[in-house]
Chain A
């Protein structure tokens, strides 16, 4: 005799839970109103001096190159902690003398970022077009699939921004297919509201999988030290010294390089 009563109680509980959940959903939607998508143009412009323009192990040639890197982005939120970005990015290097070093990349990509307790987990897809010269001849086309984890830590006047990134490149050029791992630490020490000392040490590892490069393994170690001046919140000028060394199991691919130059970074 008691069983129908228990059944009713259980049904009532489910019903109440359902109603509560529906109410929570509505209130959640009200509370977590996501901002509308926004457009931005973000980039860097720089003349840079390098003491190894062609990344040669033995034949070092100094040169100056100009490198703009400009993106148009659409950023938006799907929920309060899940954001997306759709972007187009253009970047090239134009050397004053060593024209063989000229190269350009056009990228179209999308990114999904989940923010969990300050950690940013991103999944990124990028369709890339690599050119010889400054958009002269298409060298190869790739599809990069990436996953990254990043976070910012603020300790007094120091901001630490670690990032790890894993990429696989699918490409129509067999030699370009590879795994890539990056570990980067952005460091900014604020001296006052306008001036900062900045550094970006990084380690990269590459495992090439196909073609003539099959079995090739490269590692890049780099450190930099710079002085940043904030012209505005969205425009800064940084002059830094960058040292980069690449080791490889293909001896000819080893090099070291020192670069010095100012760089204008902006976001509009």
Chain B
């Protein structure tokens, strides 16, 4: 009877420790995702500092708002 109780107790302990090990895995998928997200945020800050050129696949070169206002200014005094 005592032996049976001991086996049950050992089984429960192994089960609990295994579950804890799974829950407490140092770097599970959620942890890795969190790290990649933080890195992605830093990457966004860095790449936002770059000047993105217009891609050659553009059908026509885009007109910047500043060029429109320049044209307006040029047209004004005439």
Contact = CB atoms under 8 A, between A and B. Distances in A.
B38 A265 contact: no
A202 B44 CA distance: 13
B30 interface: yes
B30 A184 contact: no
A116 interface: no
Interface string A149-175: 000000000010101010000000101
Nearest to A100: B27
B17 interface: no
A69 interface: yes
B63 A130 contact: no
A38 interface: yes
Interface size class of B (residues with CB under 8 A): 35 or more
Given A39-B55, A69-B39, A184 B50 contact: no
A51 interface: no
Interface residues of A, number: 69
Find the residue from B29, B46, B52, B65 having the highest chain A CB count within 10 A: B46
Contact of B46 (A59, A163, A233, A238): A238
A139 B62 CA distance: 41
A183 B63 CA distance: 33
A40 interface: yes
A222 interface: yes
A33 interface: yes
A222 B57 CA distance: 39
Contact of A200 (B37, B45, B60): B45
Interface string A234-268: 11101000101000000011000000000101111
A163 B40 CA distance: 14
Contacts of B60: 36
Interface string A104-146: 0100000000000000000000000010100000011000000
Contacts of A213: 30
B35 A55 contact: yes
Interface string B30-54: 1111111111111101111111111
B74 to A, nearest CB: 15
Contacts of B46: 44, 198, 200, 236, 238, 263, 265
B58 A39 contact: yes
Nearest to B22: A212
A213 B42 CA distance: 25
B50 A236 contact: yes
Interface of B: 23-24, 26-27, 29-43, 45-55, 57-60, 62-65, 68
29 contacts: A35-B63, A36-B60, A42-B47, A42-B52, A55-B31, A56-B26, A89-B40, A93-B39, A101-B32, A103-B35, A105-B33, A105-B40, A130-B32, A159-B49, A161-B48, A175-B30, A176-B30, A184-B41, A188-B49, A200-B46, A202-B38, A218-B34, A220-B38, A224-B42, A234-B50, A242-B42, A265-B49, A267-B47, A267-B53
Given A105-B40, A222-B38, A266-B50, 15 more contacts: A33-B68, A38-B62, A40-B55, A41-B55, A55-B31, A67-B39, A80-B65, A92-B36, A93-B35, A139-B29, A159-B49, A200-B46, A234-B51, A244-B38, A265-B49
